[in-house]
Amino acid sequence: MKLLIIEDDPTAVKGIKDNFEDIGWSVLNSDFERALENIRKEQPDIIVMDWMEDLDDNKDRGRAIFNETHNLPIIIYSGIASALEVDEIENNPFIEKIPKGDEQDVISKINEWEKYIKVVSEIKNQFDEAVSYMMASLKPVIALSTYPGENVIKYMLNRQASEFFGSKIVDDETNPTWTQYLYPPSSKTLLVADILKSRIEDKYFVLLTPSCDMARASGDTNVLLATCTDAYKFHDYGQLQNFDLSSSKGTQKIETVSKMLSYGYNSYRISLPELPNVFPYLTVNLKDLHFVKLSTIAVNTKNIDSSKHEYVRIASINSPYREQIVWAHMVNSCRPGVPDRDYKKWAENILK
């Protein structure tokens, strides 16, 4: 791991430098004058930087560093940290402000981040390989008599990049359920099965209108939402109070609900796993549907207009889980209704 410390007074960060050199990290100290040069040359995994007292003078330098690092993990270790306003902190969990004084606070934060940073650095190191893979896909296209257009080439390269990184996914262990979410959502238009939240109330909804219909629709178009309810409403046992899941009955209930989850839905209900620190476990009720105007939904939290938006998209669902929700909706909305019959007698005769 490479750590770059941007500090005009090396003695102020000696404890940080010594700590990480002792465990085998490559640590470089740089002054502000040569900071950008060293960032480009060393390609650090993480940066610890001071923020000079002259805010106006250093603001441009700090901005230049942020622009150069492309959201590298940065710890601003400064005596004026609490007074600094850094917009990037809102969108990047790996930018932290720590008041200068106790170097152990910086060491602890880096230790907290280390496992995540290693994975990010590993992915970044694969980018050159990915570009070669993407360029190879253009070989048959270059031979065409006419240029297919910039958008076509971008489409091809993006798909190849997605395929390349998808092939790197390790499938030798079961992933946590929340890995099915795309958060924050990146698509410029709304997608089927997107998770919405009421802007005013603590209520959640799932979008059921096909993605292609919304991509070309006007704001006046009606889109279909399914209401989300409490997690326990997915199963047929009702709300269990102080129930011992380790008992034999508890084990049986877990097996039954697990089987329902493997089907993807239970009658008209779909279970959504929690997205930690974003939204809780939920149940989608495919019978509690209503239309809203497309224009009342904000595509992301950055673009909320309080004068018109009643809902905001907070997450998308990745394939094939998105299609699983679409299938459950089709099964419930498209099957013909039939009168009740003597199912008990019917079942008895089947079992004879």
Does residue 246 form part of some domain? no
| CA 179 – CA 192 distance, rounded (Å) | 18
- Give the structural domain span for 316: 184-230+268-334
Does residue 262 form part of some domain? no
Q: What are the two backbone dihedrals, phi and then psi, of residue 155, each rounded to the nearest 5 degrees? A: -60, -45
Q: 50 with 73, same domain? A: yes
Does residue 236 form part of some domain? no
The answer for 70, left when phi > 0, alpha when psi is -120 to 50, beta otherwise, is left
Contact 222, 293 (CB under 8 A): yes
Strand ranges (E), 36-150: 46-49, 74-78, 95-99
Q: What is the CATH number of the domain that holds 320?
A: 2.30.30.110
Q: 34 with 88, same domain? A: yes
Residue-wise over 68-89: b if at least 16 C-beta within 10 A, else e? ebeebbbbbbbebbeeeebeee
Does residue 344 form part of some domain? no
Q: 151 with 211, same domain? A: no
Token pair 């150069």 in the structure block, residue: 68
> Is the pTM higher than 0.75?
yes
Question: Is the Cα torsion angle 188, 190, 195, 201 positive or negative in sign?
Answer: positive
Does residue 255 form part of some domain? no
| CA 318 – CA 201 distance, rounded (Å) | 26
Residue 172's SS3 state is: coil
Q: How far is residue 179 from each of residues 22, 280, 319, measured CA to CA in Å? A: 36, 14, 11
**What is residue 171's predicted lDDT score, i.e. its pLDDT?**
64
**What is residue 253's predicted lDDT score, i.e. its pLDDT?**
83
Residue-wise over 15-43: b if at least 16 C-beta within 10 A, else e? ebbebbeeeebebebbebeebbebbeeee
Longest dimension (CA), the chain: 88
Contact 234, 269 (CB under 8 A): yes
Contact 97, 84 (CB under 8 A): yes
Q: 291 with 330, same domain? A: yes
Q: 115 with 132, same domain? A: no
Does residue 349 form part of some domain? no
Q: Which of 98, 123, 148 is the last residue of a domain?
A: 123
Does residue 51 form part of some domain? yes
Q: 117 with 148, same domain? A: no
Q: What are the two backbone dihedrals, phi and then psi, of residue 45, each rounded to the nearest 5 degrees? A: -85, -25
Q: 38 with 26, same domain? A: yes
What residue type is 351 in one-letter code? L
| CA 234 – CA 28 distance, rounded (Å) | 54
Q: 220 with 151, same domain? A: no
Q: Would you say how long the chain is, in residues?
A: 352
Count each helix (H run) and each strand (E run) in the chain, helices first. Answer: 12, 13
User: Cα dihedral angle (122, 125, 131, 137), rounded to 10 degrees?
Assistant: -40
What residue type is 225 in one-letter code? L
Q: 81 with 188, same domain? A: no
Token pair 């209503």 in the structure block, residue: 290
**What is residue 223's predicted lDDT score, i.e. its pLDDT?**
95
Q: 104 with 6, same domain? A: yes
| CA 54 – CA 1 distance, rounded (Å) | 31
Does residue 293 form part of some domain? yes
pLDDT values of the chain reduced to their tens digit, one per residue, 352 residues: 999 999 888 899 999 999 999 999 999 999 888 888 999 898 899 999 987 655 455 556 766 777 777 678 999 998 877 777 766 666 678 888 899 888 999 999 999 999 999 988 888 888 888 888 888 889 999 988 999 999 999 999 988 988 888 777 766 567 889 999 999 998 999 999 999 999 999 999 999 999 988 988 877 899 999 999 999 889 877 776 667 777 888 888 888 888 888 888 898 999 999 999 999 999 999 999 999 999 999 999 888 998 999 999 999 999 889 999 999 999 888 777 677 888 888 888 888 7
Contact 21, 5 (CB under 8 A): no
Please state the domain count of the chain. Answer: 3
Q: 292 with 330, same domain? A: yes
What residue type is 7 in one-letter code? E
Question: Is the Cα torsion angle 255, 260, 266, 271 positive or negative in sign?
Answer: positive
Q: Which of 138, 166, 194 is the last residue of a domain?
A: 166
Q: 106 with 221, same domain? A: no
